[in-house]
Amino acid sequence: MVEQSGVRVVRCGGNKINFRAPIITKDCRFLICGSGDSVKVFSTSTEECVHVLEGHTDQVTGVALNPANHLQVYSCSADGTVRLWDFIDGILIKTFIFGYPILSLYVSEKHAGVIFVIVAMENQNKGENFQLLALHLPKVPDQEVEAKDMFAVLCDISPNPGSTAFGQGGEYIASALGLRLNVYFFRKQKTYRFSLKATDKKGAKNAFTCVACHPKDDCIATGHEDGKIRLWRNFNQKKEYTYSTQHWHHNAVSSLCFTPEGMHLLSGGVESVLVQWHCEEVNKKDFLPRLGGAISHIAVSSDGQMYCTSHSDNKINIIHCSFKLSAVIQGLVKGNIWTDLVIDSRTKALVMNGRPGHLQFYSLQQDKQLYSLDIVQQEYIYEEGLDQFEVMKAVFDVRGNWLATVEERGRDSDLEFALKLWGFNESAQSLELNTTITAAHQDRITSMCFSPSTETTMLVTAAKDGQFKVWLLGTDSETQKEQASWSCDFVGSYHGLQPTNCCFSSDGSLLAVSFEEVVTVWSSDTWGLLTTLCQPPGPIRELCFGRLSCSKYLLATTPKNLLCWNLLTCSLEWSTPMDVHLLRSDPLSDIIAAFCLHSKSSNLFVFRPSEPRPLFTQKAVCEGKVQRCVFAPRAEPLDSCDERFQWLNRSRLYYLTEKMELLSFSTQTEDERILKSRKQLLVDDSVAVTPFYLLLGKHRRQQEEEDKLNFMTNKVSERTQHPQASVAVKELLHTPAHVLPAASFLCSMFVNSLLISNTESREEKQPSEKDEDSDKEEDDSEEEMETGDGQQEIRTQGSVEEAPPKLSKAEEKELRRVRKTDFSWVTSLSSS
Amino acid sequence: MGEFKVHRVRFFDYMPSAIRALAFQPQREKIAVARTSGSVEIFNCADRFFQEKIIPGREQAATEALAWVGDRLFSAGLNGVISEYDLENQKVKYTIDAFGGPMWTIASNQQGTHLAVGCEDGTVKLFEVCEGKIQFEKNLAKQKGRILSLSWHPSGSRIVAGMMDMIRVFNTETGQSVHRLLVERGIGASRSVECVVWGVVYLSDGTIISGDSSGKVKIWDDLTGTLIKSHQVTKWDVLALSVSQDETSVVAGTSEGTVVQFQFLSVVLGQEDKEWVQTRIFKNHTHDVRAVLELGTAVVSGGMDTQFVVRPLLDKIEERGPECVLRKIQFPHRSLVSCAKKAGLLLFQYPGHLELWRLGESDGHGASGSVLPVKRKPEKLLHLKIKGEEHICCSAVSPCGEWIAYSTVASFRLYRLHCDNNNVSITKVSKLPKVLSSANQICFSSDSSKLFAASTCSSVHVVSLSQTVHKFVCTLKPKSGETLLTTAVHLLAASEDGKWLASANSDREVQIYNLTKMKLHSTVPVYNSGVTAMAIHPTTNNLFMVHADQQVFEYSIEEKKYTDWSRQVQRNGLHYLWLARDTPVTNVTFNPKNPTHIILHDAYMFCIIDQTLPLPDSSSQFYNQLTLRSLPEKDRTKHSHAFKMCKTFKELMFVELMEDQSLVAVERPLVEIAAQLPAPVRQKKFAT
């Protein structure tokens, strides 16, 4: 197998934002958290992602504000580096190379130039062992520095970052592991150890779960397995230490945090209730219930105005200090996934199980949840062992007008399920429940699909009761005309066998239904059985029609073989002995992706049904079995010239691993493009990214693109066109001062940019209407802002077939009108 | 170990009374406990909290508070009188009416010169402590509302009084009120109810700490009279407060049964700035904690659930030892049951009456551990109510079952029992010798011909009993003429052959008298722990003694020295698990069939010491009954040692071997005591 150097596996969105505790910046405007390989900066007021700080090559395992400069943030990662970022502008300032995977990061104001990291201990043969190191950051102006000056502070500590905390003024560090609390005093260089018994008479589980230190007093709060919170004092004595115990949580306390003045202690656990303890009045506490999943981390801003909680359902809640929920940042919920990964063709969002009983619509481009659709429409009760309705299947039709869902409850004997059909309401711009069919089949529905044909809206369901049913949207004349509902049109079966899969051909004329080991092909017009295909024996696992040029092929997988039939000849075209467990066709091209498990890792094969040779193979795309996969259409196609990667041009293949990681492939060209877009400095953050801003900014950006297109076609230096807008000036004005080169260096560039170039005559040949627009643009350049997604820039280099949309006359007029409207109120609103 | 037919007696409805007040005497390390029945008990902290003395109560005594002045103990009660106790002879020395109505509190200053009492009528009365009496000195400025708690400033110049809705600080020189600190009422429904300041503590740095019925512990500054900090400790009342000697720790008892500790800690380590911080919560009670003491090394608490709880503070104890265990003292450390071995009768002593029961009978034989069928049910023969207000302090039934004697502080009574088939009648013996006015301990000789009554100054009166004439024989006195102040005898033991009598007093002295010569035979060397149980062996005439620190001694009366076995025990040392037992042995008895066996019991087990077997060393398994049973017959002897423990019974009050080789075990399960207590305050429990 040739090493595919051009393609790499990337985590591409839907990453965990709850892996480590987030931080809130000093001014409370941003929330910074690690997300996969990157650090994300969210706006606390609008919940939008403002920057993605990319550079780490492995899981980011901690973020911390630079105590010396509150506009900078440190991040550490399992790739063994600590990076210092300017999160306002989203640029990497420095990289400290440490060399070993870092599990967590701590900073303290008292220890300037030192950061503390948790790493796995070396030379330990029995089990995992972790230690806390103090890492001196060398003061060298280089971008990349090796940090080798370190010493061990505490050995044998918990890898959980919540189990270690800095005490008042950085005087000591408290760390808990199992039943032992260690307090290390930096000044005395002495460690005090306090142990609890594993259980006491009342059967309490005393193991420590988390630690927090009071910011003003010498008081350590510890959370315990049984939900108790202990407040330790006088811990600089071996014997005369003392603690008081508080108990509210009924299960383990997962996170503790003091407010900056030490007035309150916040605690959270699996109950998903944020508890605020008053340190002065011990018995008084406030509760903020129903926050979502179990609380995993709590963080407080440095002025105490904002709290944030991360939850197990990949969510960050931002809570005002008056104990009101102010914003929710929702990532991709990765709980139990029963549905396939589905792409909603309207929003291009990934649809899958989200919160219990819901489907989540997740935008992969923007990496955020669009919305969550309540399918079950029943209150979910958080209790173990309770059998509740869950969405098991979800299918969209081709245009995204219809959604069919199946929800289930109970085991085989007392199975309850319902088939629901949701229509898209144009006026409300949302999916609305159209029909609920409670007993669509006698037994569990195994597969369903919509017909891709444009004339009829048709759904086929196959169930374990040995039947497949065809459902049609009919306008029942007897009932209300506008309210079309679904009804059964045809019931088919084949020798009483259980149907396992069903699939429509790309034009919708043929329906293939697999009955255990037999594939039947039906005509969708007459519902007559056309043919049966059953060459090599074996139960059919997956069924899939070829598309576009390969639409005459029908593919199926059995535990032993991958089969391909030619439907014109009704004969087996080819078959290969391969244990394919996942087969998915790209809706935009004729290629098909197959995953097969080989020696505990999954291999990917991409092929055209017409050619027996695979187009592309990648071994070991992930550990374990690939659970689900989907082709998601790209917003703008790539124009990769390499033949092997052309299949990635129009769609992107996403797959979900056993560890619930959403992975994808990225080509070199794509990487380069992202890198390029990142290099452009982000400017002007005085306006928060609000939906209004995006609305206004869209037009602005379009204009910009056209400008750039012009530069490219004209091959004219950009610098000379408009002095104010020239890149040099822009860079000069908008680059943060601390990363600017010397002024002497800039001077010549700046002066050069002011010189009137002799190419001006050629400038005059620019189309006049564009000039006009761009001139006007300069006026409100203050509102200019570029988001980090870089989509628009990509378009400029895009393929020829996807030229930027030309505006019609009417549209242009409308745009002008919009532009002239006074939007200054938006600015005032957003800045307030 | 041997098999016994066991009478499991559950009809002794012993009900201890609630603890009302605690007072600590730091020099002698003694704690005085006042119970609602009016009785006062003295516990010795240095001697494993052994209950050295019991001063029986009386009807309507209603002791509310206790105070030590040096070695003298005073109490004040709702009956309006101040009492001083005679601790030597275990009775009230005198009472003095304070003329202020019911009294809620009494406090002495550290100098030991004055007593202050708080009265219902709102006065704080100062008494001067004089030799042998107290003298009224003055009233402090009279206030409206009752005085519920008092605390002297260690200098003695000021006194703080907890009242209804307020705290007052008085100058003791002028008698004028210096500060009036208003205490806010509880919120909600309790807003209309007055806030009762149940406890105050005055610290030497001028800090006043108060506990009140709104559930708060408040810290005040007496210079400015302002509230520094308020801790909401409970939803109910804070009933008691106590401060440690070094004033770094305060404990508060609450209605929820918890004891909350506050510590004076530096907020930032290493700095002088200190603050009172709520730290630990001890929950050892089910009901109101009415009294607490912070001893420095332990927190002692008592309350409505009648338990006397000692919770050691492990952080203050230097080395692990017997002080490190949590003690819950439920039963008195002396026997309330006496038994007529020959007649099969049991005499139960209640505060106000006696009950005589005949044991049931069974002729069945069953396997070990099985329940035998009862042929005759146990029968209550007698219910003897006492005359007068005083409570019984001791009682006894003669071994033949013919005589019953009891004594209160004021009177001594002897009854003769006539058992004629089912007819039971008693006659009071009217003509008793004059000397028998009261007794601290009563004992009959084994042939029931003599009555021994321990009296004041460790003297024992001997009275010979016969059908008609009851003759005073003599008074046995300890030889030492100079020690007139010797304390009362709390244990008496007569030998089986009628030759010897042993007496033990709370000064830990054990005297042996020769009854034939009617004079002191010898004195056992004084050991530094009180004798909790003793008996004279029927065949060897060795005196067997068990002390509060669980040490056992065997003293040969004839040879006037410790026996070889006893020396061997002292040389070897006892097993650490035996020494760690937290309740004292309260009865010793012997098995006439097997003279080497000694039967002991404490509240949780009874034990047979086999003197022929080797003593356990520290490495051997102490509680080895189960392992022995699993071993084959041959190996048993190799592993067995002298101590055989039996824990099959619930909380034991008395164990005795009867004449017919059946064992009587009087059980009093704590759950039954708890069931008779009033309902505790309502508390929300999780998941209910």
Q: Are residues A426 and A362 in the same domain?
A: yes
Element (DSSP H or E) covering residue A116: strand A114-120
Whether residue A725 has pLDDT greater than 60: no
Whether residue A221 has pLDDT greater than 90: yes
Q: Are residues A192 and A266 in the same domain?
A: yes
**Nearest by CB: A244 against B281, B314, B687:** B281
Q: In chain A, what percentage of residues exceed pLDDT 70?
A: 80
B126-155, pLDDT tens digit by residue? Answer: 999 988 889 999 888 888 888 999 999 999
The answer to whether A281 contacts chain B (CB < 8 Å) is yes
The answer to whether B648 contacts chain A (CB < 8 Å) is no
Element (DSSP H or E) covering residue A747: helix A743-754
Q: Are residues A243 and A315 in the same domain?
A: yes
Residue A268, pLDDT score: 92
Asked whether B35 and B51 are in contact (CB, 8 A), the reply is no
**Nearest by CB: A244 against B229, B279, B687:** B279
Phi (first) and psi of residue A794, to 5 degrees:
-60, -35
Residues B33, B19: Cα–Cα separation, whole Å: 7
Contact A236 B265 (CB under 8 A): no
Residue A222, pLDDT score: 93
Residue A291 lies in a domain: yes
Q: In chain B, what percentage of residues exceed pLDDT 70?
A: 97
Confidence of residue A767 (pLDDT cuts 50, 70, 90): very low
Q: Are residues A277 and A341 in the same domain?
A: no
Nearest CA in chain A to B233: A283
Buried b (16+ CB within 10 A) or exposed e, A679-703: eeebbebebbbbebbeebbeebbbb
Confidence of residue A256 (pLDDT cuts 50, 70, 90): very high
B323-354, pLDDT tens digit by residue? Answer: 778 888 888 888 889 988 888 888 999 988 99
Whether residue A524 has pLDDT greater than 90: no
The whole-number average pLDDT for the span B245-251 is 91
Strands, sheet with B226-232, edge to edge from the N-terminal-most edge strand: B197-202, B207-212, B216-221, B226-232
**Highest-confidence segment of A198-212, A309-323, A368-382:** A309-323
Compute the count of residue pairs across chains A and B with CB atoms less than 8 Å apart: 55
The whole-number average pLDDT for the span B215-244 is 90
**Nearest by CB: B279 against A233, A239, A280:** A233
Residue A793, pLDDT score: 43
Residues B242, B66: Cα–Cα separation, whole Å: 13
Residue B528, pLDDT score: 86
Whether residue A816 has pLDDT greater than 50: yes
Residue A324 lies in a domain: yes
Give the DSSP per-residue string, A359-381: EEEEETTTTEEEEEEESS-S---
A199: domain CATH number is: 2.130.10.10
Residue A341 lies in a domain: yes
Residue A387, pLDDT score: 81
The whole-number average pLDDT for the span B433-439 is 81
The answer to whether B277 contacts chain A (CB < 8 Å) is yes
B399: nearest Cα among B450, B362, B472: B450
Residue A124, pLDDT score: 55
Residues B340, B658: Cα–Cα separation, whole Å: 8
Phi (first) and psi of residue B438, to 5 degrees:
-160, 160
The answer to whether B231 contacts chain A (CB < 8 Å) is yes
For residue B419, the tally of other CB atoms under 10 A from its CB is 17
A167-220, pLDDT tens digit by residue? Answer: 888 888 999 988 889 899 888 888 888 888 876 666 678 889 999 999 888 889
Q: Please, what is the average pLDDT of chain A?
A: 80
Residues 6 or more apart whose Cβ sits within 8 Å of residue A413: none
Contact A239 B316 (CB under 8 A): yes
Confidence of residue A822 (pLDDT cuts 50, 70, 90): low
Whether residue B223 has pLDDT greater than 50: yes
The answer to whether B278 contacts chain A (CB < 8 Å) is yes
Contact A243 B280 (CB under 8 A): yes
The answer to whether B362 contacts chain A (CB < 8 Å) is no
The whole-number average pLDDT for the span B390-416 is 88
**Nearest by CB: A234 against B230, B265, B278:** B265
Contact A242 B279 (CB under 8 A): yes
Whether residue A161 has pLDDT greater than 80: yes
Residue A412 lies in a domain: yes
Residue A424 lies in a domain: yes
The whole-number average pLDDT for the span A670-674 is 72
Sort out which chain B residues have CB atoms less than 8 A from A203's CB and list them.
Answer: none
The whole-number average pLDDT for the span A352-371 is 84
Q: Please, what is the average pLDDT of chain B?
A: 86
Burial class (CB in 10 A: 0-12, 13-18, 19+), A822: exposed
Whether residue B317 has pLDDT greater than 80: no
Q: What is the DSSP letter of A497?
A: P
Question: Poorest-confidence range of A86-100, B308-322, B446-460?
Answer: B308-322
Whether residue A627 has pLDDT greater than 80: yes
The answer to whether B671 contacts chain A (CB < 8 Å) is no
Sort out which chain B residues have CB atoms less than 8 A from A239's CB and list them.
Answer: 314-316
Residue A243 lies in a domain: yes
Here the ipTM equals 0.79
Contact A218 B315 (CB under 8 A): no
Residue A364 lies in a domain: yes
A556-598, pLDDT tens digit by residue? Answer: 888 888 888 888 888 888 888 888 888 888 888 888 888 888 8
Nearest CA in chain A to B686: A250
Higher-confidence position of B506 and A829: B506
The whole-number average pLDDT for the span B433-444 is 84
- Range of A208's domain? 160-330
Residue B89, pLDDT score: 81
Confidence of residue A826 (pLDDT cuts 50, 70, 90): low
Higher-confidence position of A831 and A208: A208
Query: In the structure encoding, which two tokens stand for residue B476, read together?
Result: 């046995």
Using alpha carbons only, give the angle A102, A103, A105 rounded to the nearest 5 degrees. 85
Residues A732, A740: Cα–Cα separation, whole Å: 8
Confidence of residue A797 (pLDDT cuts 50, 70, 90): very low
Sort out which chain A residues have CB atoms less than 8 A from B265's CB and list them.
Answer: 233-234, 242
The whole-number average pLDDT for the span B46-65 is 86
Higher-confidence position of B25 and A711: B25
The whole-number average pLDDT for the span B658-669 is 87
The whole-number average pLDDT for the span B271-300 is 88
The answer to whether B265 contacts chain A (CB < 8 Å) is yes
Candidates B279, B314, B686: best to mutate against A (most CBs of A within 10 A) is B279
A392-434, pLDDT tens digit by residue? Answer: 999 998 888 889 999 988 877 788 889 999 988 888 888 888 8
Whether residue A322 has pLDDT greater than 60: yes
Q: Are residues A250 and A372 in the same domain?
A: no
Residue A718, pLDDT score: 42
The domain total for chain A is 2
Q: Are residues A260 and A364 in the same domain?
A: no
For residue A68, the tally of other CB atoms under 10 A from its CB is 10
Q: Are residues A182 and A240 in the same domain?
A: yes
Residues A489, A440: Cα–Cα separation, whole Å: 12
**Highest-confidence segment of A227-241, A382-396, B107-121:** B107-121
Sort out which chain B residues have CB atoms less than 8 A from A280's CB and list them.
Answer: 229
Buried b (16+ CB within 10 A) or exposed e, A39-60: bbbbbbbbbbbbbbbbbbeebb
Phi (first) and psi of residue B165, to 5 degrees:
65, 0
Contact B279 A283 (CB under 8 A): no
The answer to whether B266 contacts chain A (CB < 8 Å) is yes
Residue A801, pLDDT score: 46
Asked whether A579 and A601 are in contact (CB, 8 A), the reply is no
Question: Poorest-confidence range of A55-64, A822-831, B271-280, B628-637?
Answer: A822-831
The answer to whether B315 contacts chain A (CB < 8 Å) is yes
Sort out which chain B residues have CB atoms less than 8 A from A233's CB and list them.
Answer: 263, 265, 277, 279
Q: Are residues A236 and A266 in the same domain?
A: yes
Residue A488, pLDDT score: 87
The whole-number average pLDDT for the span B454-479 is 81
Q: Are residues A261 and A400 in the same domain?
A: no
- CA distance to A624, B548, B551, B571, per residue, from B568 (Å): 72, 20, 12, 5
Q: Are residues A344 and A321 in the same domain?
A: no
Phi (first) and psi of residue B514, to 5 degrees:
-90, 120
Least Cα separation, residue A232 to chain B (angstroms)? 8
Whether residue B298 has pLDDT greater than 60: yes
Q: Are residues A363 and A237 in the same domain?
A: no
3-state secondary structure B382-418: EEEECCCCECEEEEEECCCCCEEEEEECCCEEEEEEE
Strands, sheet with A315-320, edge to edge from the N-terminal-most edge strand: A295-300, A306-311, A315-320, A324-330
Candidates B217, B229, B264, B269: best to mutate against A (most CBs of A within 10 A) is B269
Sort out which chain B residues have CB atoms less than 8 A from A283's CB and list them.
Answer: 232-233
Candidates A200, A282, A284, A285: best to mutate against B (most CBs of B within 10 A) is A282
Q: In chain A, what percentage of residues exceed pLDDT 90?
A: 10
Residue A363, pLDDT score: 85
Residue A749 lies in a domain: no
For residue B211, the tally of other CB atoms under 10 A from its CB is 31
Query: In the structure encoding, which two tokens stand for residue A401, read together?
Result: 């007008």
Whether residue B106 has pLDDT greater than 90: yes
The answer to whether B688 contacts chain A (CB < 8 Å) is no
Residue B468, pLDDT score: 75
Whether residue B161 has pLDDT greater than 90: yes
Burial class (CB in 10 A: 0-12, 13-18, 19+), B137: middle
Contact A217 B270 (CB under 8 A): no
Nearest CA in chain A to B316: A240
Buried b (16+ CB within 10 A) or exposed e, A711-731: eeeeebebbbbbeebbebbbb
Q: Are residues A166 and A308 in the same domain?
A: yes
Whether residue B1 has pLDDT greater than 60: no
Residue A4, pLDDT score: 46
